[in-house]
């Protein structure tokens, strides 16, 4: 079992619909939080104990700086939660280069770069007898790529593939990667796409319940949360395949 008490955890995308619920649960379990996002005001509005840091995940230098500053807060880093993400809707053959670049920069490359930057700090955490972890949210679209979400699905599927391979490599060092793939969750992400317009979506998962399942998995040392690990939304016969999962 992983104890969260006094664990130093960086939550990326802490002001988002799912990030803030995960952050609250981590705080309730005694974790020491580093809250990251692009908007300091939104992070301050959370009124959660912890250190606030801003960063643009599309900028590689910002990621290096974020991890360095986060490690300096407590002199260590015991976990990362990647709850940041962007979504785009539209036909596969009409997606613009700018949209593709933003989707992959934030959804795929940023988590990879975060892990690369934090690898030594997380290895030190394991050597000190703690149980370091990295949580990513590739979502149900990484399992079931969805029409009119082709580019978004691809960015998340690439992340899921990276997680699976990297998890095998890092297991021997004591670093655990946990990839969560919930169905469409009512975080508000689909209402703010970087391109296109969201179709009518079925009722999604409640963010607080998804957050609870993820935090429970962190503490239970789980390494994979497929879409079937999350309860079906009320009134839905099965997990929706058209959701963003974020």
pLDDT digits (tens, 9 = 90+) for 70-82: 999 999 999 999 9
Q: Is the CB of residue 230 less than 8 Å from the CB of residue 216?
A: no
Q: What's 238's DSSP letter?
A: S
Phi first, then psi: give them for residue 10, nearest 5 degrees: -95, 120
The b/e string for 80-103 (b: 16+ C-beta within 10 A; e otherwise) is bbbbbbbbbbbeeeebeeebeebb
DSSP 99-160: HHHHHHIIIIIHHHHHHHHHHHHHHHHHHTT---EEEEE--GGGTS--TTBHHHHHHHHHHH
- Name which of 229, 16, 224 is nearest 107 in CA terms: 16
* pLDDT tens track for 4-20: 999 999 999 999 989 99
- When pLDDT is cut at 50, 70 and 90, the band that residue 55 belongs to is very high
Q: Is the pLDDT reported for residue 244 higher than 50?
A: no
Rounded Cα distance, 153 and 77, in Å: 30
Rounded Cα distance, 219 and 217, in Å: 5
Mean pLDDT of 85-101: 96
Token pair recorded at residue 126: 């394991």
Q: What's 220's DSSP letter?
A: T
Mean pLDDT of 177-195: 92
Q: What pLDDT is recorded for position 232? A: 53
- Name which of 135, 172, 173, 139 is nearest 12 in CA terms: 135
Look at the pTM and tell me if it is higher than 0.85. Answer: yes
Q: What pLDDT is recorded for position 106? A: 97
Q: Is the CB of residue 191 less than 8 Å from the CB of residue 198?
A: yes
Class of domain 8-229: alpha beta
Q: What pLDDT is recorded for position 199? A: 85
Mean pLDDT of 166-195: 94
Token pair recorded at residue 223: 């390494």
Q: What pLDDT is recorded for position 241? A: 36
Share in percent of the chain as helix, strand, coil (round to 5) = 45, 15, 40
């Amino acid at each position: 079992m992983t104890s969260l008490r006094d664990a130093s955890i960086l939550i990326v995308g802490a002001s988002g619909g799912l990030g803030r619920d995960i952050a609250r649960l981590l705080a309730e379990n005694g974790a020491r939080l580093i809250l990251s996002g692009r908007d300091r005001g939104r992070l301050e509005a959370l009124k959660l104990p912890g250190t606030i840091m801003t960063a643009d995940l599309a900028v590689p230098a910002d990621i290096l700086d974020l991890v360095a500053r986060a490690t300096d807060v407590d002199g260590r880093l015991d976990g990362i939660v990647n709850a940041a993400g962007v979504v785009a809707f539209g036909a596969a053959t009409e997606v613009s280069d700018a949209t593709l670049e933003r989707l992959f920069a934030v959804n795929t490359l940023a988590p990879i770069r975060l892990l690369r930057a934090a690898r030594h700090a997380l290895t030190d955490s394991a050597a000190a007898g703690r149980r370091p972890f990295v949580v990513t949210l590739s979502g149900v679209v990484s399992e079931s790529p969805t029409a009119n979400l082709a580019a978004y699905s691809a960015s998340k599927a690439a992340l899921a593939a990276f997680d699976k391979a990297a998890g095998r490599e890092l297991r021997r060092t004591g670093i655990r990667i946990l990839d969560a793939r919930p169905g469409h969750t009512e975080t508000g992400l689909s209402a703010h796409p970087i391109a296109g317009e969201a179709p009518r979506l079925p009722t999604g998962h409640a963010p607080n319940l998804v957050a609870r399942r993820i935090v429970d998995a962190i503490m239970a040392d789980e390494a994979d949360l497929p879409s079937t690990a999350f309860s079906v939304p009320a009134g839905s016969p099965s997990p929706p395949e058209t959701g963003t999962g974020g």
